[in-house]
Structure 1
Amino acid sequence: MNVVRRKGVEKISALLDLELNYSHAKHNFELGLPLEDSLKHFFRPYFPSRYGFSSGYIVDDTDTVSNQTDWLIYDSHNFSPLLAKIHGSEGAEWFPFDSVYGCVEVKRTLTISALEEAIKQIANTRKLRREPTNLLQVSPYIRIPEKVLHVSPDATFHEVCNSLYIGIYAFLPGDYSDPNDIYNKIEEMADNLGQENMPDFIAVHGHYYIRKAIRDKASGKLTINPFMEQANTYITVDCHKLTAGVFYTDLIYQFSNTNLSALRIQSDLGAFLQSEEDIKISGVSEYA
């Protein structure tokens, strides 16, 4: 298994390197869109069909809206856009927050201003709220009662399983050839925006991959798991030519361990109908 996974990581990294260098030569990435499209187009065959790719806006149940997101990964089997493009026309799509696994802010060159812009974008998206799903949530309507489980009385199931996974993918390192400089910038911006609003990951193509992790303060042991609320440190993976494959593997790992079923699929129909002034419910007839 590990040998095959390694081969997959090598293949993805080599092919994306070829794709991006060809696109760079052809388009020079003067605008953001060619790079965003190249990434989404390249990774599409490597993701199961339930993961939809798009760009656009995210809206939560309080009608809080994110800024426009470069690359948005959502549950395409159970959700549809609230507002969709028609026949491939130009425009942005809108998605309910409960449908979104994660987002990627795409940057051609990771300059100081580009990193600051991306972190502010991520912090703004973090303002959105959804009810947390824990390990006992089976479906939008079904949750396993703790009392039916034969576990220790002090066992807890509070791990949040539907954390938004959001970060940055940059083609060129720009001002950040040394990942330690990124840590300094994150620490600086966290003072104003909050540590909880910082990126979960930062990938710099062909250089390194930064990801949140858990460090045991007593032993110093590092743990990588999908429960992002537990993270208290960053790690740097010096993966160089394998950065794209590590990025892909991390997204698949994170999303496959994400449960988006905290709330009923989309919005509650009854609540929607009764909240709209120009929609009236009539003709009520008892039948049982």
Structure 2
Amino acid sequence: MDIKKVFRGISQKLQTDLEISSEINHQGNKGTYRESALRDFLLSGRLPKRFGIGTGEIIGPTRNVSKQSDLVIYDQLDGMSLVYDDNVQIYPIESVFGVIEVKSKLSKVELLKSLENIKSVKSLCPNESVTKTTNSFMSMTYPRPKPFGVVFAYSLSNNSLEL
């Protein structure tokens, strides 16, 4: 198997979605289409069934709320959305594995804004330990993991990303 050909094909699929979306005039609709294309790509056998992908805000244990996240990867088996509508979704931090910020063109300004959005999610996670009992004789305690954050860009802007 030529893994380079596999990744080239994946890249071409995402590039085709970008080209299709470039024909949409309204910027909000264009962004929504690109987020949906990435979500559908990930949900088509590229993530275990345990994970769901939505969009929206995340709420912490003290009622603090994150900024809006483009894609929220959450535990759909043991977790849930507190509010679920086609346009509004709110997830408890305990069920969130990570967030993805989707950008059409990544510039320095967009990168910094995306990192702030990711930071707003990570700051919700309580600094506590979790104890997991594996059987009646053994239990493990470990720090509660923080959700991951990813910035996905279809292309780079014409400016420099240097800080």
TM-score (norm 1): 0.48
Q: Which residue of 2 aligns with 1:109?
A: 105
Is the counterpart of residue 36 in structure 1 residue 53 in structure 2? no
| 1:112/1:175 contact within 8 Å kept | no
CA distance in 1 between counterparts of 2:91 and 2:137 reads 25
Task: Tell me the distance in 2 between the aligned counterparts of 1:8 and 1:78.
Answer: 33
Alignment coverage as a number of residue pairs: 159
State which of 12, 22, 39 in structure 2 corresponds to 1:14. Answer: 12
* Distance in 2 (alpha carbons) for counterparts of 1:142 and 1:174: 56
The structure where strand makes up a greater share of residues is 2
Structure 2 partner of 1:164: 147
* 2:132 counterpart SS class: coil
2:121 to 122, 125, 130: 125
Structure 1 CA distance for aligned equivalents of residues 76 and 152 of structure 2 = 23
Q: CA deviation at 1:11?
A: 3.1
> Unaligned stretches of 5+ in structure 1?
147-156, 186-288
Distance 1:28 1:12, change over 3 A: farther
Q: Take 1:112 and 1:34, find their aligned partners in 2: how far apart are those partners?
A: 23
- 1:99 aligned onto 2:95: yes
Work out the CA distance in 1 between the residues paired with 2:16 and 2:132: 42
Deviation at 1:164, TM superposition (A): 1.1
For 2:3 and 2:155, locate their aligned partners in 1 and report how far apart those are by CA, in whole Å.
Answer: 26
The answer (yes or no) to whether the contact 1:50–1:77 under 8 Å persists in 2 is yes
- Contact 1:56/1:72 (8 A) holds in 2: yes
Aligned to 1:144: 138
Unaligned residue ranges in structure 2 (runs of 5+) = none
TM-score normalised over the length of structure 2: 0.79
Cα shift readout 1:52-105 (whole Å, capped 9, x = no counterpart)? 0100111121212101111111111111101111xx4xx311111111111011
What is the rounded CA distance, in whole Å, between the counterparts of 1:9 and 1:161 in structure 2?
A: 33
Q: CA deviation at 1:127?
A: 1.5
Structure 1 residue 120 displacement after superposition: 1.9
